[in-house]
Amino acid sequence: GQVFKLEDYKPSEFLIPETKLTFNLHPTKTLVQAELTIRTRSGQPPNAALVLDGDELVLRSLAINGKVLDAASYTATPDRLTINELPQADTFTLSIETEVAPEHNKALSGLYRSSGNYTTQCEAEGFRRITYFLDRPDVLSVYTVRLEADSKEAPLLLSNGNLVERGPVESGALDSGRHFAVWHDPFPKPSYLFALVGGDLGSIKDSFTTASGREVELGIYVEHGKEERAAYAMAALKRSMRWDEEVFGREYDLDVFNIVAVSDFNMGAMENKGLNIFNDKYVLADEATASDADYAGIEAVIAHEYFHNWTGNRITCRDWFQLCLKEGLTVFRDHEFSADQRSRAVKRIAEVRGLRAQQFPEDQGPLAHPVRPRRYREINNFYTSTVYEKGSEVVRMIRTILGAEDFRRGMDLYFERHDGDAATIEDFLRVFEEVSGRDLSQFALWYHQAGTPSVQVAMRHDADKREVTLHLEQALAPTPSESRKRLMHIPLQFGLVGQDGRDIAVKAAGEGVEGDVIHLRKRHQTIRFTDVPERPVLSINRGFSAPIMLAMEQTAEDRMFLARHDSDLFARWQALTTLYTQALTQAYRTIRGGSTPEFAPALLALVGDTARNEALEPAYRALALSLPGEGDIAREIGQTIDPDAILAARNALVLAIAAANADDFAKIYEAMAASGPFSPDAADAGRRSLRNVLLDYLSAPAGDVKRAASRYESATNMTDRAAALAVLAHRQSGSPETVAALADFESRFRPEPLVIDKWFQIQATVPGTATVNTVRELMRHSGFSIDNPNRVRSLVGTFAAANQTAFHAADGSGYKLFADAVLEVERRNPQVAARIATAFRSWRSLEPGRQDKARQALVAISQHRDLSSDLRDIVERTLA
């Protein structure tokens, strides 16, 4: 396939200032009439052909300035429309009629049907599946959209912007049974932000008064009967709107803001101007069907899409290489929003756990790419954790380097200067350089170089000289097609913790330190602090100020000290996590050597003390008690990985912690019981999460099934019910209580696909090879559909991404099952197939037997006939 390169960017010679679209919606024969005002950029008559993008299009008619074109003056293929003979004028009107079949569109890109409703997904390149267009983000157009549909089939007709007209479609004197609506969006936008919805949906309505006193009508549209489940999303939307005014000074700009929930969607949601379209998983919630994690996800995604109105829509991307300009920045904004709504420390720890579990393996494997890539074959494969989450970390580092005030001044300048633009990362960095007077050229490497930097730190204290010396060293390993790396600017927040647990006020001699931030810019850097009478304990990369791997010479005693006393709660959690990781890798080696692991009593006691520490909020204690995942342990070990030994090591530590703290855990478990009616707020969710983590420990010993079984039976909300079911399935697999609870869950929630997804997930993550067969059987379950991305991700995606011992079954059966499933998904939906196939990315770190079987499965996929460019791109890069 074609490789697109950043350096090849050229502005378009043609512009489309105005776009008028008429849709005659029909399941298999939707007619799309596009009337495009085309203007040359130069203001002179065109001197080259006009080439428009298409994808699987059928052209019905073509005219310029009202005159039908003769066949010799253009060529039309499903993928491209080339018009060679153009008027000798700088502006003309091009009329195109295409025909599409939404019902048959299983790729869920372009115009498609979900549960009988018409809907669209145009990012990144879906608009070209609707009509021929300059389908690139730097071509901005003002859209007027007329929708016509059967009044019964689609009483609801929505598009971007404001509603300007609606009524019945007359055919002669008769009512045709069809109706229409006209929508106008006054803000010029790229085609990827176009959307329409036609269908029969229920809704909830509300309104929001902006800071300057304008009224905005808010609507959330969901399947009939599910309206009440949209209340939390609506409240989250209003909080997001207020927050963006207060924290970033951004007001909403249209009279209407609509959200539509659909059940077939390739990603989480889409920020179409004034008409966000959501995967219903990120809209619908009530206590019986949604877990606390679901509520948090809804809050975050609602906020994320709303925040795109400024970071993405008002200021969009010049080209798809700049994707992180809108995505990294908007993730940063939604992270900050959630941190303000909930507990900042808890939120930060959850973010870092996610980053390490998803982005670090991406950055350290065959799919590594810079936050701003320079090449792509298939842009859909670059909606990655690197672009989104590492992109957000880079914005966070800018704030750390500049400080909150200059950061806000930079953002203000960005909005002021670039409103209405299709901008670049260079534009973004320039505003921060200007407001702060700082040189960010070395820092910009975070956008340009792939890979996770590692930093080694050692601290010495010289009691005689009353001096502390820090030695820091940075390194960045080669990544695909980047063999030589340059030195990065790494901002490290730090503190020197005194024996009383408080930070010592420090005086640094020499450069490289500003306040509580060390600016590591060289390969080796030495920093001296004077006037330090006692030996402090170093706490560094506080708040995870830089997305790096830290290797620090530090004793277990010092880490335990930090785990008890560090004033930075992130660093406190990190100290404990490092202790767990060291204990687990040691246990892994012991198990591989044929012996039984043992764990330091001081660590087991520290865990108990942390669980009991009421000065810490329950949500934090729950995170502190959560051991690194099997994937985290695998990454730490690095090579020749044996997933079975990892699971055994982790289970051994769970059992040791449980045995050492059984009585206390049981008491805290009781103390965390709910005392009032259900609330999804962070405090109550935190109590539930601590209780459920403790349930997992208490149910770990063989046969200890009663507590979890009774928890399952007495649960009054989905968080507790699903957590109890997971504990039963993962800790007491095959017990009669587990079998009964799984059957009960299925019969209770059969009509609720989003809940059945949890049932799929729980079973897909039961450790051990037997799960390969379970997944094969569940793929035949009546609640499973290979066409629905949520079902595929919950069962097949979760199996490969989150079940190390089954996916990597030594006999290769997990790979075979998965490869077959990927190919089956790919026939309908290449984007989803390509995304789940990234689960193979760490195959080279396995022990040789598994490596060989994983390679065979990848090769089998790559040799399949007619492979989509999406899946081919992932598989070939993974094998390279």
Catalytic residue among 271, 305, 327, 351: 305
Minimum CB distance to Zn ion smaller for 333 or for 542: 333
- Listed ranges 300-308, 404-412, 508-516, 847-855: which one lies at the site for ligand HT7 (CB under 6 A): 300-308
Q: How far is the CB of 3 from ligand HT7 (least distance, A)?
A: 19
Residue 444: name its binding partner from ligand HT7, Zn ion, none (Cβ under 5 to 8 Å by kind): none
Which residues form the interface with Zn ion (CB under 5 A)? 327, 330
- 311 beta partners: 315
327 in contact with ligand HT7 (CB under 6 A)? yes
- Listed ranges 81-89, 267-275, 557-565, 686-694: which one lies at the site for ligand HT7 (CB under 6 A): 267-275
Q: How far is the CB of 308 from Zn ion (least distance, A)?
A: 6
- Listed ranges 121-129, 478-486, 504-512, 839-847: which one lies at the site for ligand HT7 (CB under 6 A): 121-129
d(CA 743, CA 371): 45
Q: Which of 121, 554, 689, 805 binds ligand HT7 (CB under 6 A)?
A: 121
Q: Spell out the alpha helix ranges (H) of 438-568.
A: 445-448, 556-565
d(CA 276, CA 260): 6
Residue 380: name its binding partner from ligand HT7, Zn ion, none (Cβ under 5 to 8 Å by kind): ligand HT7
302 in contact with ligand HT7 (CB under 6 A)? no
Minimum CB distance to Zn ion smaller for 280 or for 305: 305
Contact between 510 and 528 under an 8 Å Cβ cutoff? The reply is yes
Would you give the binding string for ligand HT7 spanning residues 366-385, x where CB under 6 A is met? --------------x--x--
Q: Within positions 268 to 287, which residues make up the interface with ligand HT7, using CB under 6 A?
A: 269-271
CB-closest chain residue to ligand HT7: 267
Q: Within positions 173 to 192, which residues make up the interface with ligand HT7, using CB under 6 A?
A: none
d(CA 301, CA 307): 10
Q: Is 305 a catalytic residue?
A: yes
d(CA 840, CA 721): 32
- Listed ranges 301-309, 438-446, 679-687, 853-861: which one lies at the site for ligand HT7 (CB under 6 A): 301-309
d(CA 262, CA 755): 15
Determine the residue type at 667: K
Would you give the binding string for ligand HT7 spanning residues 328-367, x where CB under 6 A is met? ----------------------------------------
Take residue 328 and report the two structure tokens written for it: 């990294």
267 in contact with ligand HT7 (CB under 6 A)? yes
* Whole-Å CA distances, 100 to 18, 157, 340: 22, 18, 45
Minimum CB distance to ligand HT7 smaller for 341 or for 385: 385
Q: Within positions 555 to 584, which residues make up the interface with ligand HT7, using CB under 6 A?
A: none
Minimum CB distance to ligand HT7 smaller for 274 or for 608: 274
Q: How far is the CB of 271 from ligand HT7 (least distance, A)?
A: 5
266 in contact with ligand HT7 (CB under 6 A)? yes
d(CA 7, CA 442): 20
DSSP 687-744: HHHHHHHHHHHHT-STT--HHHHHHHHH--SHHHHHHHHHHHHHHSTT-HHHHHHHHH
> What letter would DSSP give residue 387?
I
868 in contact with ligand HT7 (CB under 6 A)? no
Determine the residue type at 742: L
DSSP 499-516: TTSSBPP-EEESSSEETT
- Listed ranges 119-127, 143-151, 253-261, 723-731: which one lies at the site for ligand HT7 (CB under 6 A): 119-127
d(CA 89, CA 87): 5
123 in contact with ligand HT7 (CB under 6 A)? yes
d(CA 79, CA 53): 6
Task: Report the candidate in 778, 788, 790, 770 with the shortest Cα–Cα distance to residue 746.
Answer: 778
Contact between 371 and 391 under an 8 Å Cβ cutoff? The reply is yes
Which residues have a catalytic role annotated?
A: 305
Binding site for ligand HT7 (CB under 6 A): 121, 123-124, 266-267, 269-271, 304-305, 308, 327, 380, 383, 831
